[in-house]
Amino acid sequence: MIDKKIINFQSKLRLKFNNVNLLKQSLVHKSFNNTENNEKMEFLGDRVLGLVLSVFLLKNFPNEKEGIIDKKFANLVNKKTCSFIAKDLNIKEFMYLGDSYKGQSRSDEKILSDGLEALIGAIFLDKGLKISEEFILKNWKKYLDKSDYTMIDSKTQLQEYSLKKYKELPKYKVHKQSGPQHSPVFKVEVHIKNSKKIVATGNSIKKAQQNAAKKLLIDLNI
């Protein structure tokens, strides 16, 4: 007998699976079942998503430099974007999660992002590339239509560079706040492995971190 949860999710997706077990597997988090879960499906879905969006970007931005295409791509496939799309689909409502994860909002972004990629993997295995492409382009449409998705913010760009090159996150240090309470100035220091320490200011910690990351990217010629 098919789980009612699966029937409802198929209805929401407007996709009828030939093999509903593929859909169910894509919704099983490792906290629910440590051996039979969605990790391999997520691995596949990540590759399918990358292929579809890479082809889309190359077709739609034929004159763009590779570096800019890469930034567009990174902004479209990062965990934050994937988690937003997963929330739109209410994926967590249909997932099989262990008790330790059910109430943890702090882990939502990864759970949702991984769940969405696993779902794409299941669609690919059951329906093939064409239907997978239709699903991805439909659900990423508002992000593909955005005029500002072309550039990635400095803090994210520095993080991705540092992770790719050194497998380490950038290190930020917040110095003492100065200025009046109604108009504070925050001083932030940032560095990555083998880089100098760069200091910048801003009217919030977040803004100061962005400014510091931007200055360090310039110093690194990125």
Residues with catalytic roles = 46, 117
Place of tokens 């508002």: 142
CA distances from 16 to 13, 46, 131, 142 (A): 8, 22, 12, 24
- Phi, psi at residue 163, to the nearest 5°? -65, -40
Place of tokens 């590779």: 66
- Residue 198 in 3-state DSSP? strand
Query: How many angstroms separate the CA atoms of 92 and 103, rounded?
Result: 11
Query: How many angstroms separate the CA atoms of 110 and 39, rounded?
Result: 12
CB neighbour class for 211 (10 Å; exposed up to 12, middle 13-18, buried from 19): buried
- Type of residue numbered 175: H
Query: How many angstroms separate the CA atoms of 217 and 79, rounded?
Result: 22
